[in-house]
Amino acid sequence: MDLVLRGPSIRDRLRANVAPSDAEKNAIVQALDTAEARLSILQAGCLASAARSTEEATLATFVAEYSSILSKIRQLPDDILRLIFLHPDIHDHLFTGYTGRSSVVAPETWHIASVCSHWRAILLDMPVWWSCISTSVTGGQVCVSRLQLFLRRSMNAPLSITLIREDQHETTPPPNPEIVQALTREAGRWQHLLMSNGPDLTSLPLGGCFPLLESLVLASTDGLEKIVHAPKLRAVSFRHIYHAQLEAIANLPTRPILRLSAHIGSGHLCQSLLSLFPDTIHLTISTNNKTAWRGLPGPHPHFSVRTLVFLGNEMRVYCVLEMLNVLNLPNLERLELIGCWKWDFPSVDSHMKRSGCTLKELLLQSTRIRGPELLELLRILPTLETLEIAGPYQIPNSITDPVLLGLGPTDKGLLPALTKWVLHGTYVFSTNTLLNMLEYRFGPDKRCRTPTIIDIILRDRSFSAVDLQRFAALPATNARISLECFDEDRQWVRICNGRWWR
């Protein structure tokens, strides 16, 4: 395929983001039409030739390169590109102690910087892009060079530091002095420090002053006394907490601590920990003790927790929900159950009655709750506004036809205040029952007038053309309603507010 452009070659234009002139754009569009038509003929197999595969590959490369040079993203200003590059939805997020989705973005540094020289130049001029650093304190010269590179490019941006231990054996080598010194010199820039799977604070010669530190994730409390001044610290996470460690935790210089995460072995310890941090509004706890949460005499003190996250660790031998028997959380608004494989409705019911809390949000992620149990739970949550059910281990019979029928009539059914429903997974309900429920609650008669979000992803079934049309017809006014599934031809389909993508 011949297309002669004056000046730089197509490869050089792509690397440097050199935009074509109007005349060149017209020539490129015409050439692409010709190439795509020829490529369609070859791919259809209408021509039999020994050189067909070579020509097909050449045309495919031509179409890809010249389509890219016309791409809209190449016309965006650098400021807009910077915002896109840092958008949290295209990156991983740092683990910050199971306190929900972290707002700390861990950029895919090398991938985006390798697209073209223009993008690389933009990223090199973005200190925040290089401010998320993960390294082993026992690493060799490669780790040292990479750490120094990131510290240099991040300039004065606040740092998110993750310290890992490459060798978990007893013969772990001592920390590399070059890495330790490079990190501690920048302690004034630390914003997030994560050491949940690495060394403790005793391995670092810290000065004690951390003016920017906001979150701290540790495997133990060893060396915690080195945190002398951290005025912005608001989130703390420990892998395990024991009674003997409470004194060290109590000496943390910062108050209030708003987000707390820990593996806790008893109800008394949980109450003691919350008493140390009475302003905690986001609490994440797990346990592996079957009996320590029972029999703690009341009355139980009130705490200000608004978001409670239970980590069941996918265990069947104990029920993490029994923790509710020693808690009294009248301000609780959001409950997250993650990996809870053993269910205990009485603990939830008794806490709701005892505390008088008004629960507004419920997340069930990889939690093994069956349809009748879910119905029993939803009946005691009339104020629930958000229901999220997702996860690879969510059992199929947690959402059944009776559950959807119960969610149907909003005037006499379950969850009359529901405005956000997220459903991801594989379930046994029928497609028709699902659509009937959605049409009743969110159909053209506008029974639900409040802003609504419906997010459904079903990877186990195919929707007929009629079913897809029914979903697409749901009104989009004051709502965002989306569905991802397969169609009759097993093609992946996404519908959002009536618009289709395949």
pLDDT value at position 297?
Answer: 63
- Per-residue model confidence as pLDDT tens for the chain (502 residues): 556 567 778 778 877 777 788 888 888 888 888 888 888 877 776 555 656 777 778 888 888 888 888 887 778 888 998 888 877 666 665 545 444 444 454 556 667 777 777 888 888 888 988 888 888 888 888 889 989 989 999 988 999 998 887 655 556 678 889 998 999 999 999 999 988 666 678 778 887 889 999 999 888 888 888 888 999 999 999 888 888 888 889 888 888 899 999 888 778 888 889 999 999 999 998 877 665 555 566 667 889 999 999 988 777 666 778 888 888 999 999 999 998 888 888 889 999 999 999 999 999 998 888 999 999 999 999 999 999 998 777 788 889 999 999 988 765 678 988 999 999 999 999 999 999 999 888 776 655 556 689 999 998 889 999 999 999 988 877 788 999 999 998 899 999 988 888 7
For 37, other C-beta atoms within 10 Å of its C-beta total: 10
CB crowding 408-434: b at 16 or more within 10 Å, else e: bebeebbbeebbbbebbbebebebebb
Is the Cα dihedral 179, 181, 186, 191 positive or negative?
A: positive
Cβ–Cβ < 8 Å for 183, 210: no
Q: Which of 238, 247, 242, 191 is nearest to 217 (CA)?
A: 238
Q: Where are the domains of the chain?
A: 10-75, 76-254, 360-502
In whole angstroms, what is the distance from residue 375 CA to residue 314 CA? 22
Identify the residue whose tokens are 């002095």.
177
pLDDT value at position 219?
Answer: 83
Alpha helices for 188-298 (secondary structure H) = 246-250, 267-276
Give me the half-sphere count of Cα atoms (radius 13 Å) on the Cβ side of residue 451: 0
Task: Report which residue type is found at 422.
Answer: V
Cβ–Cβ < 8 Å for 202, 222: yes
Degrees (nearest 5) of the Cα angle 335, 339, 341?
Answer: 105
pLDDT value at position 289?
Answer: 64
Q: Which of 415, 422, 396 is nearest to 483 (CA)?
A: 422
Distant-in-sequence contacts of 275-280, Cβ < 8 A, 24+ apart:
275/301, 276/246, 276/249, 276/250, 278/303, 278/304, 279/255, 279/304, 280/256, 280/304, 280/305
Q: Which of 332, 355, 325, 240 is nearest to 286 (CA)?
A: 240
Q: Which of 418, 431, 436 is nearest to 474 (CA)?
A: 436
pTM of the full predicted structure?
Answer: 0.81
pLDDT value at position 385?
Answer: 94
Torsion of CA 243, 248, 254, 257, to 10 degrees: -20
pLDDT value at position 186?
Answer: 93
pLDDT value at position 93?
Answer: 52
What does the radius of gyration of the chain's CA atoms come to, in whole angstroms?
28
For 162, other C-beta atoms within 10 Å of its C-beta total: 21
pLDDT value at position 464?
Answer: 94
In whole angstroms, what is the distance from residue 35 CA to residue 25 CA? 15
CB crowding 60-82: b at 16 or more within 10 Å, else e: eebbeebeebeeeebeeeeeebb
pLDDT value at position 427?
Answer: 92
CB crowding 349-385: b at 16 or more within 10 Å, else e: eebbebbebebbbbbbbbbbbbbeebbebbeebeebb
Main-chain phi, psi angles of 273, to 5 degrees: -65, -45
31's enclosing H/E stretch is: helix 22-43
